[in-house]
Amino acid sequence: MPTKILRIGLIGAGMAGQAHAFGYRNASMADPLRGVQVELAHVVDAFAPLAQDVAERYGFEKWGSSVDELLADPSIDAVSVALPNNQHVDVLTKVLASGKHVLTEKPLGLDGSQASQLAALAADPARKGTVDAVGFSYRRIPGLAALRDAVAEGAIGEILHFEASYYSDHAADPAVPFTWRFEASTSGGGALIDIGAHALDAIEFVVGPVREVQGANFATYITERKDATGTVRPVTNDDAAAVLLVAGRNAMGVLQTSRVAYGRPNALTLTVFGVRGSATFSTEDFNQFTIHLAEGDPRFDGPRRVITGPLHGAYSDVSSFRSRGVGTGYGEAFIAQVQAFLGCIVNGTQMETNFAAAAATMRILDAANEAAATGRAVPVETGAHA
Ligand code: SOE
């Protein structure tokens, strides 16, 4: 007999929304959620047939296209939001006002101003006891979480410098049609806000808050694309970006991101260099990370490959086969993310990636835009990072 029932609404039934639904469908595997029954109550999407398809495939009780109708349902405890970037501020403002717990996909709006506006609404005393979270699912991957734990325990000492990248090839073909992702007014930015944001979060997760953007460069290589009607549209945001930044105590680093990176379909990579070693995680070697400890026997010098498993965080609760070498994938990171979100609801705590922290990440993106425009370094006000 469940001790607690949590009823879920989903706003946005596209790829990211379905990843959230996958997370909710599987979240109850987690020991910390024993006794919690997750019910998929209602999914809405502007394209109602998609909402219906997702409702049928994932098992939502209701489907439709009205956000207001979903938010008016008092039986719904928590809402996931996964919409085009320009829709987040209006919809999230409504969700916050509804008093429901919320887990939204990144980015938190189109820019730092919208993110700060949403963070202020989330901090309203009327929302005391409710959870506001932003989905940075990559930090839930066992290999990256284990690398972070090793750094936090001082395994490689203070971090001196780092490099982070997120490469994708989803827009490398000029024939890829124009969508909202290629228009600055609906996306807030291109590769840097879309996938570079995950690399930024990985930097802040492992190295610490970004304190300054020392320089940035953006590039658009495919300057126009045809939309679904065959109309040629100008691309008004970045295909690729490179950012020079300082994070943590005083670590220097470079972040590179590209959505036109042939041969790298979906690759988030972080390497950190410390005073006593170095470590690397890449989604291209999803279930492992490498670490080099300087004190090792010089005859056997070189990075050690660590295969993640039940000894590493964010593994056991999401893996239905809990043994080393079996591995987890992109979907399980969403299970872990939903488990963390539902756990905060049950325990009355907040996610480390709350709206305040996500607003700080958005301020880094603003600083990168300013640094690129002015050629000058831009300090960043660090956020409420746990
Ligand atoms: C498209 O680039 C996208 O769906 C991103 O928006 C997601 O955040 C990333 O996880 C996968 O690629």
Which 3 state secondary structure label does DSSP give 311? coil
Amino acid making up residue 63: W
Question: What's the CA gap between 85 and 104, in Å, rounded?
Answer: 11
Q: Are strands 36-44 and 288-293 parallel, antiparallel or unpaired?
A: unpaired
* 105 CA closest ligand 1 atom index: 8
CB burial string 130-164: b at 16+ within 10 A, e below: bbbbbbbbbbbbbbbbbbbebbeeeebeebbbbbb
Beta strands in the chain (DSSP E): 4-11, 36-44, 62-64, 78-81, 101-105, 132-135, 159-168, 210-219, 224-226, 232-234, 240-247, 251-258, 266-274, 277-282, 288-293, 304-307, 378-379
Q: Is the CB of 361 under 6 A from ligand 1?
A: no
Question: What's the CA gap between 115 and 107, in Å, rounded?
Answer: 8
Q: Provide the β-strand partners of residue 226.
A: 232
Q: What is the pLDDT along the chain (386 residues), one digit of tens a residue?
A: 778 999 999 999 999 999 999 999 999 989 889 999 999 999 999 999 999 999 999 999 999 999 999 999 999 999 999 999 999 999 999 999 999 999 999 999 999 999 999 999 999 999 999 999 999 999 999 999 999 999 999 999 999 999 999 999 999 999 999 999 999 999 999 999 999 999 999 999 999 999 999 999 999 999 999 999 999 999 999 999 999 999 999 999 999 999 999 999 999 999 999 999 999 999 999 999 999 999 878 898 889 999 999 999 888 889 888 888 888 999 999 999 999 999 999 999 999 999 999 999 999 999 999 999 999 999 998 755 43
Question: What's the CA gap between 367 and 356, in Å, rounded?
Answer: 17
Q: In this structure, what token pair is assigned to residue 195?
A: 């996938």
Full set of structural domains in the chain with CATH: 139-320 (3.30.360.10)
Q: Which of 297, 35, 272, 277 is nearest to 155 (CA)?
A: 277
Q: Which of 289, 355, 344 is nearest to 138 (CA)?
A: 289
Q: Do 19 and 334 touch, CB atoms closer than 8 A?
A: yes
pLDDT at 3: 83
Q: Is the CB of 385 under 6 A from ligand 1?
A: no
Q: Do 271 and 163 touch, CB atoms closer than 8 A?
A: yes
Distance 195 CA to ligand 1 centre (A): 6
Q: Do 251 and 273 touch, CB atoms closer than 8 A?
A: no
Q: What is the pTM of this model?
A: 0.95
How far out from the chain centre does Cα 229 lie? 32
Amino acid making up residue 366: D
> 165, 187, 195, 365: which to mutate for ligand 1, most atoms within 8 A of CB?
195
Q: Do 123 and 356 touch, CB atoms closer than 8 A?
A: yes
Report the nearest-CA residue for atom 12 of ligand 1: 195
pLDDT at 383: 58
Q: In this structure, what token pair is assigned to residue 108?
A: 């938190």
Question: What's the CA gap between 198 and 289, in Å, rounded?
Answer: 18
> 85, 87, 194, 337: which to mutate for ligand 1, most atoms within 8 A of CB?
194
